[in-house]
Amino acid sequence: MQKILMVLTSHDMLGDTGAKTGFWLEEFASPYYVFMDAGADLTLASPLGEMPPLDPKSDEPAAQTNATRRFKKDITAQDALAHTEKLQELDADDFDAVFYPGGHGPLWDLAEDPSSIALIEAMVEQGKPVAAVCHAPGVLKHVKAVNRTPLVQGKKVTGFTNTEEEAVGLSAIVPFLVEDMLKQNGGNYSKKADWQPYVLSDGLLITGQNPQSSELAAKELLKLLARQSRSDIND
């Protein structure tokens, strides 16, 4: 059974606008069920533990998907989400992979969080996959590879595009633009048209462009874990 860690934001304020933010429901729910349906052992974590803040916009009718509707009826999943573990108390040794759902929240807390940065660096050093979707590739901002260069340097990566950020009217509010950061850190950034599913896998790193990419990114993570398992068996 694969042990997968999902790390969510604890940040709930959209800059100094007074508006709320957090994690994006679809980007949690779709991967959650991809992993659960595959029989994975899931652990949910956030910097502060307990219930991570939900971006209210992701709870609006237009943002609902089959996965979010399933979640709304799933008391067990709701209880798991309400009791996330504290990220700083967890150890990379105990997991086979980590997945970061997006929402704007991670740009403020997880991108700068020492525990998150150390976790990702330890996962990579141990040869374990790291996946992030939409705004969550922002968590890679300060993460270094084993040779201490930026983790994304020279890697094929994607993430929430500048034009998608413009479309939601938050380009001047967010602390940084995901697309720009990935390019500045030497990532080989590419994208599809706004709101189209797009996922890239390069070595241990999997990135997805937007909410529409969340299910695909989770499935790509399972494929990578399966390839690693087969490789271990063949060794």
- Burial (0-12, 13-18, 19+ Cβ within 10 Å), 83: exposed
Whether residue 96 contacts residue 4, with contact meaning beta carbons closer than 8 Å, is answered with: yes
| Residue 66 confidence (pLDDT) | 97
| Residue 60 confidence (pLDDT) | 96
Whether residue 182 contacts residue 151, with contact meaning beta carbons closer than 8 Å, is answered with: no
Q: Is the pLDDT of residue 232 over 80?
A: no
Number of domains in the chain: 1
Q: Rounded to the nearest 5°, which phi and psi values hold at 116?
A: -65, -45
What proportions of the chain, in percent to the nearest 5, are helix, strand and coil? Answer: 40, 15, 40
- The pLDDT mean for the chain works out to 97
Residue 3's nearest CA partner among 132, 89, 90, 74 is 90
Q: Is the pLDDT of residue 82 over 80?
A: yes
Which band of pLDDT confidence, cut at 50, 70 and 90, is reported for residue 65?
Answer: very high
184's tokens: 């500045």
What is the separation of C-alpha 178 from the centre of its chain, rounded to a whole number of angstroms? 13
Q: Model pTM?
A: 0.97
CATH number of the CATH domain containing 68:
3.40.50.880
Structural domain for 17, as ranges: 3-234
- Per-residue pLDDT averaged across 200-227, rounded? 97
DSSP symbol at 53: P
Q: Is the pLDDT of residue 234 over 70?
A: no
| Residue 7 confidence (pLDDT) | 98
pLDDT in tens, 97-117: 999 999 999 999 999 999 999
CB 49: neighbour CB atoms within 10 A?
16
CB 115: neighbour CB atoms within 10 A?
16
* The residue to which tokens 């994006």 are assigned: 24
